[in-house]
Amino acid sequence: MDRRPDDPIRWKQLNPDHRPGLITLAWRWRTEIALIVALVGLEYVLAQVMGLVGGVLVIVAAAEILYAVPTTRRWMFRHARCVFVRHRLYSVFRETRTTTLKGRLPLIMRVSPTNHGDRVMVFCRAGISVEQLQKVKREICNASMASDIYFAPANAPFAKMEIIRADSRSQDKTVTFSPGHPTNEDLDES
The verdict on pTM exceeding 0.85 is: no
What is d(CA 37, CA 55) in angstroms, rounded to the nearest whole number?
A: 15
Q: For the chain, how many helices (H) and strands (E)?
A: 8, 4
Tell me the pLDDT of the chain (190 aa) as tens digits: 444 555 555 555 565 567 788 998 999 999 999 999 999 999 999 999 999 999 999 999 999 999 999 999 999 999 999 999 999 999 999 899 888 888 889 999 999 999 889 999 999 888 888 888 999 999 999 999 999 999 887 677 888 999 998 765 445 444 343 444 444 444 344 4
Residue 150, amino acid: Y
Residues with Cβ within 8 Å of 160's Cβ and at least 6 positions away in sequence, in order, are 119, 120, 121, 122, 151, 152, 153, 154
